[in-house]
Amino acid sequence: GQQVMQIPQYQHVQEGEDFTTYCNSSTTLSNIQWYKQRPGGHPVFLIQLVKSGEVKKQKRLTFQFGEAKKNSSLHITATQTTDVGTYFCAATGPGGSQGNLIFGKGTKLSVKP
C-alpha cells in the first residue's frame, strides 16, 4: 500500500536553531498535508500542498512540495519552545481524493531553551 516515509524520527534543537523534517513517497502524490501534535494533544492541521513545486509560508514555517510531487518538507526558522511537538505529513490513500489519509511516522521535535 501507499506509504510516506518521514525523517528524522527525532530532532533535538537549541532554541533559535532551525529545524527541517522531510517526507518522501515512492509514488506521485496528488497532495500532501502537514499536521502538528503537541505533547498530550491531538493532531492539528497545518497546511495542504497541491501543486508541483509549491511553497507556502506560515510565519516561521515554510512548507515545500517537490517538483515531482514525491517529497515534501517543513522548515521552521529560529525555533521556539512553542514549536515542540510531533510533525506529521499525510498523503491521500489509494481511495483517491475522497479516501483516507496515510500518515508518516512523524518527526518529534524537542527544543531546549
Partner 1 sequence: DSGVTQTPKHLITATGQRVTLRCSPRSGDLSVYWYQQSLDQGLQFLIQYYNGEERAKGNILERFSAQQFPDLHSELNLSSLELGDSALYFCASSVSTASGANVLTFGAGSRLTVL
Q: Binding residues for partner 1, per CB under 8 A?
A: 30-31, 33, 35, 41-45, 48, 50, 88, 90, 92-95, 97-106, 108
User: Does 94 sit behind a cis peptide bond, omega within 30 degrees of 0 on the bond before it?
Assistant: no
- At closest approach, how far in Å is the CB of 75 from partner 1? 21
| Closer residue to partner 1, CB minimum distance, 27 or 80 | 27
How near is the Cβ of 95 to partner 1 at its closest, in Å?
4
Q: Cα–Cα distance between 24 and 70 in angstroms, integer? A: 6
For strands 107-112 and 10-14, give the pairing.
Answer: parallel
